[in-house]
Chain A
């Protein structure tokens, strides 16, 4: 009798935890991500009209769009700031000696390991970044707009007559 109860308890607990783990959908974009520094896409991409690929420079030639190196930030915030054009932002990406530090950004967009997405063919096909990432230029903190699942990809692929063959993305 006790054994049965234990067995049922195990099934229930495993089921509950499993469901909870899956229902969190860890492979989907996360709306609750807070970044280590208060970087605002609205100010950069919106207010100052800096093109996306000025910072995410690999998007047009590599599968990954790339997060800009800290040097890229300092490119403006260091030299321009010295000329008084910009408020000098020194912290938190430099240490007390002024040497640059790495920034550990928190991931907002992620895909499962068995999905092989490449940015560069999409950029060359003229797909706007906003089509998947939403109006980032209006966001202080980037939050996902679309639930990027296979249906989302396929809808667009079907509309644009891009390949909908499974091995286009899964291999």
Chain B
């Protein structure tokens, strides 16, 4: 063998040494300092600036505060002034940043030629193309231009309408894939109103949900999570300890069901019928409240087809259970019934239940103000598709919705799009619909543009640009106004120069209604800095309108021999719009704990019968289509049901979304989420990945619980004999100034994982992908642990946020050979990255398994790295890391206190997890300050205090958990 050093080997060597010279850490920092030419008076380099805006990730419209550093937004937090979000955000709201900085966002306009390939063009020629097509369509006849977008705020809507009018058209579709049409239709039939009600869950004592996932995606999850937490808070009523009693009726134990006292497993599609049967039972048992003014005979007639006995048999539950719910609802001082968003029968039943039990205006309210956001009905959507198919549309402008993905194939959107002469797609990450577009235009993210939104009657919120544009995009409103200005000679078509001007015009009207005496500039500045106007909404007085109730509905029955496929929006991915955000893909779905995929959930007994095992790829065949995806066995689903989360199965929509799972809309009939299905196991297998190994606590009381009875009688649950006198190896630490601690109320925590997303955003935590999670390399500093209790005992599901416990006697500290893990003067378990040499001893010795090791150097594809928090070190390969209690926030507050700029009072430091928590389950504070909110919370709930595993390990954590309260099964 010739072993001479060839020229090629030499070059390889040279390259290798060159690479070695560039070892990270030895690289110089930025070599230049480039100051502003003219300083921005709102920007102080090194300090954050805050802007109020409104979340656009779902229709709930929570207020948020964007934290901006040197011109770019790095973190989103809840706006405490906003009564909807209440100062919190969910995981989806937190992850809006990754939509803004998504590396797959369209960077410049593109045009598609006949062969299907797209190429970039300038904005100028894109606009010229668009305008010439629009003009041609306008002169070809009336209504040949169609705008297909999401429900818009008042300003954008009036701009869009003006734009359509300029091109001789009125076709405007405001499409919401998971619409609340059933709610508005039921409200129309019951009360003659076309708006959605708002609920006050914390005013109820009994809550029954007929398939409404109000802790996940239903209507306003952050608001309802907050209300549910206070509904579930223990309190003394008439000298008795009590808390809200909740029942969930549905085929699957989802996060909402898991947080209730009782889960009634019914066949999919029967939730509405059960609700009607409950209403029937209320009437039959003579429980209709006289003060409700309702005639029992009307209700008897309406629910005639829903006798509890017959319905119970269909649903697979006992008639006794239905009658019991009826009693509980009717006899409670106040109660609330909720129903699934797509279930008109259920909605009617729930609304009438609320009315019949005297809770209209108490727990369910209508607001006395006009609904400003219009959502197209399903038939309007299908009519638009039909018009496209018939060739009646010349120009389709589709923006920020994905009809190809979210409308079942039997409606034929794909074929219809091919018949449209010119399809313009305007949005962020090009999705399935963009594949059909002739012209693709990059549109500003909601964090980059001026806008307003009215999430519910009487509520007006503003959106403002909170960051510099990331790509060469334009605001949708500006683009539409530009079209009008460039194509119509008369300026009257749109009286506004740009969308900001149009917005101000709308808000002048708002001012006239809200504060006519205040000068507009003053009003505008205040509204802008607070994120909107906050006026106490007037509650409308509403009564049941008997004349519009209509024909008594009939129960729909699925054939007995097939499975009912039920599809539900994924808590993070929603209708699929979250799938392009790596945080939302990587945070485990709270109940199944599966990451980066969707799955077919099936009962183990059924699976055994059909010869399906975990990870088996199963073909799901329905009348509407077929899809194949991996099975996940769970005993917490009805045996005759299979369930698939919506949101995955993208064929476009960026690198993080493509090629994961299957899109259940491909197998659903139009406008329904439940259908009969056949299952065919295939020979293939597919690995579903979860960071949690099983759901068994292995006999260790990690998540502790207390029953309501024990709480009442003051008994602290003891699993076994406490350990003998704990042995301390070291002298106890002295904390001269502060000792930071946390109190986490496990009874308030629902497991929604907002804290996890907030932590990813605040602490520059890298995502590792499905492969990485499979190799146990997930980097999250805080996680939601989910365990299953012993059969028939305790709550339905055990969950707890697990993060570094900041132990007083920490097992990680003494084993570090280089003092990288050490005890700080303020009681934290410090982790000094520059000292760490990566032995991983600390992680081995940590009983809570909260330490994370960087197996690789983290990477964020451009421009995701623009989101990184400049106050937190980005850790390199070979370094251990873990929760720091947001030390950067602690240090900043301490330094400000030193300089007297802002005193370090209780509540001045709020870690990212506590800030985001919709249930306000996490409180942070100083253990040495007896009066801190955190310590008071401990003392108020002394009986529920426990430190995780402390009684066995004597780790003396700084985190005190408050035990989760449950009712004994069958009680209540």
Contact partner, A70, options B28, B31, B37, B884, Cβ 8 Å: B37
Nearest Cβ on chain B to A41's Cβ, whole angstroms: 15
Per the 8 Å Cβ criterion, residues 798-850 of B in contact with A are 822, 824-826, 828, 830, 832-835
- A-chain residues with CB within 8 Å of residue B17 when the two chains form the complex: 10, 13-14, 17
Contact between chains at B46 and A64 (CB < 8 Å): yes
Residues A13 and B13 in contact in the complex (CB < 8 Å), given A64-B45, A70-B36, A107-B33: yes
Contact partner, B873, options A3, A69, A114, Cβ 8 Å: A114
- A-chain residues with CB within 8 Å of residue B30 when the two chains form the complex: 107
Contact partner, B46, options A9, A17, A58, A168, Cβ 8 Å: A58
Nearest Cβ on chain A to B614's Cβ, whole angstroms: 41
Contact between chains at B830 and A113 (CB < 8 Å): no
- A-chain residues with CB within 8 Å of residue B47 when the two chains form the complex: 58, 61-63
Per the 8 Å Cβ criterion, residues 90-125 of A in contact with B are 100-107, 110-116, 118, 120-121, 123-125
Nearest Cβ on chain A to B853's Cβ, whole angstroms: 17
Contact between chains at B13 and A113 (CB < 8 Å): no
Cβ of B4 under 8 Å from chain A: yes
**What is the interface residue range for chain A against chain B?**
35 or more
Per the 8 Å Cβ criterion, residues 18-72 of A in contact with B are 18, 20-22, 26-27, 58, 61-64, 66-72
Contact between chains at B16 and A10 (CB < 8 Å): yes
Which one of A2, A105, A114 has the greatest number of beta carbons of chain B within 10 Å?
Answer: A114
Contact partner, A61, options B23, B34, B44, B835, Cβ 8 Å: B44
CA distance A106 to B29 in the complex (A): 11
Contact between chains at A121 and B23 (CB < 8 Å): no
Contact between chains at A62 and B44 (CB < 8 Å): yes
Cβ of A158 under 8 Å from chain B: no
Contact between chains at B871 and A116 (CB < 8 Å): yes
Cβ of B5 under 8 Å from chain A: yes
- B-chain residues with CB within 8 Å of residue A69 when the two chains form the complex: 35-39
CA distance A124 to B901 in the complex (A): 10
Cβ of B27 under 8 Å from chain A: yes
Cβ of B732 under 8 Å from chain A: no
CA distance A72 to B31 in the complex (A): 22
- Interface class of chain B by DSSP: loop
Contact partner, A167, options B16, B871, B874, B887, Cβ 8 Å: B887
CA distance A72 to B3 in the complex (A): 65
Residues A106 and B32 in contact in the complex (CB < 8 Å), given A2-B5, A61-B47: yes
Nearest Cβ on chain B to A107's Cβ, whole angstroms: 5
Residues A18 and B20 in contact in the complex (CB < 8 Å), given A70-B37, A168-B891: yes
Cβ of B489 under 8 Å from chain A: no
Contact between chains at B832 and A167 (CB < 8 Å): yes
- A-chain residues with CB within 8 Å of residue B31 when the two chains form the complex: 106-107
Contact between chains at A167 and B898 (CB < 8 Å): no
Cβ of A166 under 8 Å from chain B: yes
Cβ of B714 under 8 Å from chain A: no
CA distance A111 to B37 in the complex (A): 25
Contact between chains at B832 and A102 (CB < 8 Å): no
CA distance A75 to B198 in the complex (A): 57
Cβ of B678 under 8 Å from chain A: no
Contact partner, A71, options B3, B18, B38, Cβ 8 Å: B38
Chain A residue at minimum C-beta to C-beta distance from B20 = A14
Cβ of A163 under 8 Å from chain B: yes
Contact between chains at A68 and B35 (CB < 8 Å): yes
Contact partner, A112, options B4, B22, B25, B38, Cβ 8 Å: B25
- A-chain residues with CB within 8 Å of residue B4 when the two chains form the complex: 2
CA distance A72 to B824 in the complex (A): 42
Which one of A1, A17, A64, A167 has the greatest number of beta carbons of chain B within 10 Å?
Answer: A167
Convert B194-210 into 0s and 1s, putting 1 for each residue whose CB lies closer than 8 angstroms to a CB of A: 00000000000000000
Contact partner, B45, options A26, A62, A118, A166, Cβ 8 Å: A62
- A-chain residues with CB within 8 Å of residue B5 when the two chains form the complex: 2, 6
CA distance A118 to B895 in the complex (A): 9
Contact partner, B824, options A100, A107, A167, Cβ 8 Å: A167
CA distance A168 to B33 in the complex (A): 26
Contact between chains at A110 and B28 (CB < 8 Å): yes
Chain B residue at minimum C-beta to C-beta distance from A17 = B21
Nearest Cβ on chain B to A17's Cβ, whole angstroms: 4
Contact between chains at B36 and A170 (CB < 8 Å): no
Nearest Cβ on chain A to B304's Cβ, whole angstroms: 68
Chain B residue at minimum C-beta to C-beta distance from A163 = B825
Nearest Cβ on chain B to A160's Cβ, whole angstroms: 12
- A-chain residues with CB within 8 Å of residue B44 when the two chains form the complex: 58, 61-62, 66
Cβ of B970 under 8 Å from chain A: no
Contact between chains at A116 and B891 (CB < 8 Å): yes
CA distance A114 to B18 in the complex (A): 25
Chain A residue at minimum C-beta to C-beta distance from B13 = A10
Residues A165 and B35 in contact in the complex (CB < 8 Å), given A10-B17, A112-B29: no
- A-chain residues with CB within 8 Å of residue B557 when the two chains form the complex: none
Which one of B29, B30, B884 has the greatest number of beta carbons of chain A within 10 Å?
Answer: B29
Cβ of B519 under 8 Å from chain A: no
Contact between chains at A167 and B830 (CB < 8 Å): yes
Nearest Cβ on chain B to A30's Cβ, whole angstroms: 9
CA distance A114 to B891 in the complex (A): 14
- B-chain residues with CB within 8 Å of residue A112 when the two chains form the complex: 25, 29, 834
Contact between chains at B32 and A170 (CB < 8 Å): no
Residues A100 and B37 in contact in the complex (CB < 8 Å), given A58-B44, A62-B44, A114-B834: yes
Per the 8 Å Cβ criterion, residues 660-697 of B in contact with A are none
- B-chain residues with CB within 8 Å of residue A166 when the two chains form the complex: 822, 824, 830, 832, 835
Contact between chains at B13 and A107 (CB < 8 Å): no
Chain A residue at minimum C-beta to C-beta distance from B4 = A2
Contact between chains at A171 and B887 (CB < 8 Å): yes
Per the 8 Å Cβ criterion, residues 167-190 of B in contact with A are none
Contact between chains at B46 and A62 (CB < 8 Å): yes
Contact between chains at B828 and A167 (CB < 8 Å): yes
CA distance A67 to B30 in the complex (A): 14
CA distance A66 to B20 in the complex (A): 34
Cβ of B556 under 8 Å from chain A: no
Contact between chains at B873 and A18 (CB < 8 Å): no
Nearest Cβ on chain A to B835's Cβ, whole angstroms: 8
CA distance A107 to B20 in the complex (A): 25
CA distance A9 to B17 in the complex (A): 10
Convert B847-888 into 0s and 1s, putting 1 for each residue whose CB lies closer than 8 angstroms to a CB of A: 000000000000000000000000111100000000010011
CA distance A37 to B234 in the complex (A): 69
CA distance A113 to B858 in the complex (A): 15
Contact partner, A26, options B26, B46, B822, B888, Cβ 8 Å: B26
Chain B residue at minimum C-beta to C-beta distance from A108 = B33
- A-chain residues with CB within 8 Å of residue B718 when the two chains form the complex: none
Cβ of B899 under 8 Å from chain A: yes
Contact between chains at A58 and B45 (CB < 8 Å): yes
Contact between chains at B29 and A167 (CB < 8 Å): no
CA distance A53 to B825 in the complex (A): 33
Residues A113 and B824 in contact in the complex (CB < 8 Å), given A58-B44, A101-B37: no
CA distance A27 to B23 in the complex (A): 13
Nearest Cβ on chain B to A102's Cβ, whole angstroms: 5
Per the 8 Å Cβ criterion, residues 70-88 of A in contact with B are 70-72
- A-chain residues with CB within 8 Å of residue B35 when the two chains form the complex: 66-70, 102-103, 105
CA distance A58 to B347 in the complex (A): 58
28 contacts between A and B (CB under 8 A): A2-B3, A17-B18, A21-B22, A62-B44, A62-B46, A68-B35, A69-B35, A69-B37, A70-B35, A71-B38, A102-B37, A104-B34, A107-B29, A107-B31, A107-B32, A114-B833, A115-B834, A116-B873, A121-B899, A125-B898, A163-B825, A165-B824, A165-B825, A165-B826, A166-B822, A170-B832, A170-B834, A171-B888
Please report A residues at the B interface, Cβ cutoff 8 Å: 1-3, 6, 9-10, 13-14, 17-18, 20-22, 26-27, 58, 61-64, 66-72, 100-107, 110-116, 118, 120-121, 123-125, 163, 165-168, 170-171
Please give 10 more A-B residue pairs, beta carbons under 8 A apart, in addition to A124-B899, A170-B833.
Answer: A1-B3, A2-B3, A18-B21, A27-B29, A66-B35, A104-B32, A115-B834, A124-B900, A166-B824, A170-B834
Chain A to chain B: the 5 pairs with minimum beta-carbon distance, closest first: A64-B46, A124-B899, A62-B46, A26-B28, A2-B3
